[in-house]
Amino acid sequence: MLVLKTLEAPFLQTQNTGACVEHTIVQIQKMDIKPVIVVHGGAWAIPDDLAESSKDGVRYAAKRGFSVLANGGGAVQAVECAVQMLENNPVFDAGHGAVLNAEGDVELDAIIMDGRNLAVGAVSCIKNIANPVMFARTVMEKASCSMLTGAGANKFAETMNIKLVPKEELVTELAIKEWEQYQKYKQSVTCLFNSEQMHDTVGAVAIDNEGNVACATSTGGITNKMVGRVGDCPIIGSGAYADNFTGAVSTTGHGESIMKVTLARLVLFNMEKGETPQDAADHALDYMVNKVNGRGGLITVSKTGEWTARFTTKRMAWASVKNNVLMYGLNPGEILNEVIHL
Ligand code: ASP
């Protein structure tokens, strides 16, 4: 399908005609856009006993997200659907399966962003909500602000009839075991991350057949994190960013490092300079290692539907679907694929 798009400020060509500046609307022809979805299940040293279930989880989420796009759904709907599938899967550190903070409680962060108009909804330190990404979308669409945190966020959730669940419903045996272990050693978030003993944040990016991009990221954070600690995930430009002008990104890894380099926006900045998604991702991740000694991973899709999944940790579970081909991997350099029938 040939899509004619009209660019609006600030990407207008401007002509100074004396008294006033005239904006010439630029019409560009977009190439035939194929819908694409990419998902990740967190960058860390995924142990062998979680390897298969992590791969299965991202493959399933990518297929579900892609079927939204294949049925004419938009990028926002697709990333929300894919991230919900990952939140519902206890293998991942988001929604069900979230890790526990220093007091053994579950505090969740999430973000969703629409590349059409930079609309964004972010929530942090929320409790008793099984699908934070859905709540983030509600904030994006219904709140008079972009980001809500803690008790205020939970209050808004109640007014929006977001279902609350008991904490126990979100907590897995693995999360308790891990928490008990870290309680014993009282390690900081940085020590925990450097030992790569943590769980998987989840995320998705997509481009739909109209050429619109979107992203979403959701996490329980890092085991034993301070009560009230907010990582990169809900921070606009750090945990995620989407702009039709360039593309969309979702990140994972050491939150304190990701925030310092605004990793998601840095990738798009590199792409704006003309770098391929892969170079843009690698240069941004290298910058994070060199500048703040932080490791992580990310997925990105460009405005033309090129995508990549890159990481500097030992492993990251990821999957993508384009042209009915599912690709996925976990180890550095690993790319497996299969044809899917929807
Ligand atoms: N970025 C997340 C955080 O620091 C953790 C992760 O990606 O696994 O909260």
Q: Render pLDDT for 143-183 as a digit per residue (tens, 0 to 9).
A: 999 999 999 999 999 999 999 999 998 988 888 888 887 77
Distance of CA 23 to the CA centre of its chain: 35
Ligand 1 centroid, distance to 32 Cα (angstroms): 35
Concatenated DSSP letters of 323-341: TTEEEEESSTT--EEEE--
Q: What is the mean pLDDT of the chain?
A: 88
How confident is the model over 21-34, as a mean pLDDT?
A: 49
Residue 13's pLDDT is 31
Least reliable range by pLDDT among 18-27, 59-68, 236-245:
18-27
- Among protein residues, the one with the nearest Cα to ligand 1's atom 8 is 201
- Give percent of the chain with pLDDT exceeding 90: 76
Q: Which residues of 198-208 are buried (b: 16+ CB within 10 A; e: fewer)?
A: bbbbbbbbbbb
User: Residues 132-145: what's their mean pLDDT?
Assistant: 98
Ligand 1 pocket test, pick from 232, 257, 312, 314 with the greatest ligand atom count within 8 Å of Cβ, gives: 232
Residue in the structure block whose two tokens are 């944040």? 201
CATH numbers and ranges of domains, the chain: 32-339 (3.60.20.30)
| List 201, 217, 246, 313, catalytic entry | 201
- Is residue 286 very low, low, confident or very high in pLDDT (cuts 50, 70, 90)? very high
Average pLDDT of the segment spanning 3-10? 35
Q: Which atom of ligand 1 is nearest to the CA of 229?
A: 9
Pair 196, 252: CB distance under 8 Å = no
Atom of ligand 1 nearest to the CA of 231: 9
279 Cα to the center of ligand 1, angstroms: 23
> Which of these, 89, 95, 76, lies nearest to 37 by C-alpha position?
76
Candidate from 198, 201, 218, 295 with most ligand 1 atoms within 8 A of CB, to mutate: 201
Mean pLDDT of 194-201: 64
- Phi/psi class of residue 281: alpha, beta or left (left: φ > 0; alpha: ψ in -120 to 50)? alpha
Model confidence at 140: pLDDT above 70: yes
Q: Is the CB of 320 under 6 A from ligand 1?
A: no
The torsion angles phi and psi of 13, rounded to 5 degrees, stand at: -75, 135
Q: Is the peptide bond before 10 cis (omega within 30 degrees of 0)?
A: yes
User: Strand, coil or helix: what is 62?
Assistant: helix
